[in-house]
């Protein structure tokens, strides 16, 4: 039994592996997923835009032409019918909303 005492003493003072602190890096801000489209109509008075767009991955939406709300409405300034754009759309309280838009290169 005496030969086990040093081993038991070593195990008693050793820190368990699961008790080691784990540091997790803070989440990084990810760029919004951009989709491509062509501006078909702009309704600045109602902050809406009609886009013929390709797939919208983050909304699991196939290509189609549809009207989106634009938030903030200032995103429409400098955009005109016929422009090829990249945009980010989200489902905000059940309303599909463009939250970022830029010219496509």
What average pLDDT does the structure give for the chain?
Answer: 86
* 59's tokens: 């909304």
How many angstroms separate the CA atoms of 47 and 88, rounded? 15
Tell me whether residue 78 is in a domain.
yes
- The domain that holds 85 is classified in CATH as 2.40.50.320
Say yes or no to pLDDT of 66 above 70. yes
68: how many CB neighbours lie within 10 A of its CB?
22
Tell me whether residue 24 is in a domain.
no
Using one digit for the tens of pLDDT, what is the confidence trace for 8-48?
Answer: 666 666 656 555 565 656 665 666 789 999 999 999 999 99
Tell me whether residue 83 is in a domain.
yes
Tell me whether residue 26 is in a domain.
no
Contact 38, 20 (CB under 8 A): no
Number of separate domains in the chain: 1
User: Where are any strands of DSSP class E within the chain?
Assistant: 35-43, 48-53, 64-70, 84-92, 95-103
**Secondary structure of the chain: what % helix, strand, coil (to 5)?**
25, 40, 35
Give the structural domain span for 87: 35-103
Tell me whether residue 82 is in a domain.
yes
Tell me whether residue 39 is in a domain.
yes
Name residue 65's beta-bridge partners: 52
Contact 69, 97 (CB under 8 A): yes
Whole-model pTM above 0.95? no
Tell me whether residue 5 is in a domain.
no
Using one digit for the tens of pLDDT, what is the confidence trace for 15-24?
Answer: 565 555 656 5
Higher pLDDT, 76 or 7: 76
């Amino acid at each position: 039994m005496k030969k086990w005492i040093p081993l038991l003493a070593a195990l008693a003072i050793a820190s368990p592996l699961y008790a080691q602190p784990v540091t997790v890096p803070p989440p990084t801000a990810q760029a919004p997923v951009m989709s491509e489209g062509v501006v078909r109509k702009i309704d600045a008075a109602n902050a809406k835009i009609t886009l013929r767009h390709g797939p919208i991955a983050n909304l699991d939406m196939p290509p189609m032409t549809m009207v989106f709300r634009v938030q903030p409405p200032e995103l429409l300034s400098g955009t005109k019918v016929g422009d090829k754009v990249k945009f980010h759309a989200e489902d905000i309280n059940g309303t599909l909303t463009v939250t970022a838009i830029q010219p496509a290169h």
